[in-house]
Structure 1
């Protein structure tokens, strides 16, 4: 492949990523996520002393709602960075709300843009940097690049702390959905099953589906994280809650706006199956075979987050399960990608 074609391909991937967020139905879903909206609004409006007369950068501004929150909280200037075609729409939204003297909309990526000459650094970075399962389709690296380029020493990122969890669940419908490919209008499409089976599925998990206790596998502090390729593995230890069948491992996260300077108690939210619904829902990693378990048994294994060669904004998940119980055994290893960037 020539260099020009390689660069062109990279640009196409970035274009697809940003265009997905430019769809108004996606933005409407984000705005109707009451858990998300309340957490950000509380973190900003309940701590106006932190924002008063400060310079704020909103990374991945979308419809500009976080930029408007910051302007209302007293920021002297808000730089709303949006790469997609929504940038022009955000300018109209800002004008309609009489904030054009405070909110400056910049169309471009963090990697390519420059600050206006009169602004050298920012005091606060706002971003919804979390993707599904925390890292799939996330803006993690873009926010860290903005931090390293422009955030003042002692400045703040909101939210700044995330914790990643996994648990075993039942999902009796998955096998039937997967077997759909065996016979599609009389045609054998079972070869598609391999790709589908390696997809990390975003879905809503109920409390009733939980088969094990949760296991904390990772903590991310945006203040201290290095802007380098994500590649880590954590041991799993899942205590079974009830006798039954585990069909998948569910991945979810909590985030916190954890700042000592805040005048109000720390805000944040959880995407756990035990918490109220968010647009992130949960991310499911399905096992190739059902795992039969008995109450109080321990399922062990390894969970990993590794680079996705096909997606500059995402990661692959790795899952290894080692289990010997009274009702069954399993030794397995599997890699999962998001459905926009399947495994080769």
Structure 2
């Protein structure tokens, strides 16, 4: 059975999971990875690399009582979602924001989850490196897909992770990331 378990974990780390995440499962701050102006952007602008620095939300980490002096939160992956604003620029009568965020009301939309092969321990430590790199690479073999890679380097305990390249559905809008 351990072989099957290992295969399941390895497969999950290669293939994005599309599912709904409860906002209480979020263990870090969130950051915008990239913003696109959908009315004027060119296809080549969809390729980007963003550096993000995420702080653990130790007070709101799941499975820990409120007010406890928690020092470490376990992170199992990266969650991506998008917001698309139909602003007064295009919707003068009733501007609206379409969000697939886990912080908004639930809809038929979901988030994309990029799981790690192993969970990462995150701690709030002054001066600790918390920088991650996330980006996309054009995937000519599949016109409607992107390869999304993320690399979290030197987290708290100077752990290094292998870069993961994952196929994900082509999503336009404003990408946000949390781990």
Give the TM-score band, short-chain normalised: 0.7 to 0.9
Which residue of 303, 308, 316 corresponds with 2:134?
303
Structure 2 spans left out of the alignment, 5+ residues:
59-71, 170-179
> What is the alpha-carbon root mean square deviation over aligned residues?
2.6
8 Å contact from structure 1 (residues 291, 329) kept in 2: no
Shift of 1:195: 4.1
Rate the CA distance shift 1:181–1:284 in 2: closer, same or farther, 3 A: farther
**TM-score, normalization by structure 2:** 0.74
Between Structure 1 and Structure 2, the one with more helix by share is 1
Rate the CA distance shift 1:267–1:298 in 2: closer, same or farther, 3 A: farther
* 1:84-103 equivalent positions in 2, closer than 5 A: none
Distance 1:280 1:311 in 2: 23
Rate the CA distance shift 1:278–1:225 in 2: closer, same or farther, 3 A: same
8 Å contact from structure 1 (residues 271, 281) kept in 2: yes
Rate the CA distance shift 1:226–1:183 in 2: closer, same or farther, 3 A: closer
Q: Does 1:200 align with 2:16?
A: yes
Shift of 1:223: 1.6
**TM-score, normalization by structure 1:** 0.40
Which structure is larger by alpha-carbon Rg, 1 or 2? Answer: 1
The residue aligned with 1:268 is 97
Between Structure 1 and Structure 2, the one with more strand by share is 2
8 Å contact from structure 2 (residues 152, 160) kept in 1: yes
Which residue of 127, 130, 146 corresponds with 1:315?
146
SS of 2:114's equivalent in the other structure is strand
Distance 1:203 1:181 in 2: 25
Shift of 1:315: 0.7
Rate the CA distance shift 1:286–1:193 in 2: closer, same or farther, 3 A: closer
Distance 2:90 2:147 in 1: 36
The residue aligned with 1:221 is 37
Query: How many positions carry a matched residue from both structures?
Result: 153
Deviations 1:117-172 (A, max 9, x none): xxxxxxxxxxxxxxxxxxxxxxxxxxxxxxxxxxxxxxxxxxxxxxxxxxxxxxxx
Rate the CA distance shift 1:259–1:316 in 2: closer, same or farther, 3 A: same
SS of 1:208's equivalent in the other structure is helix
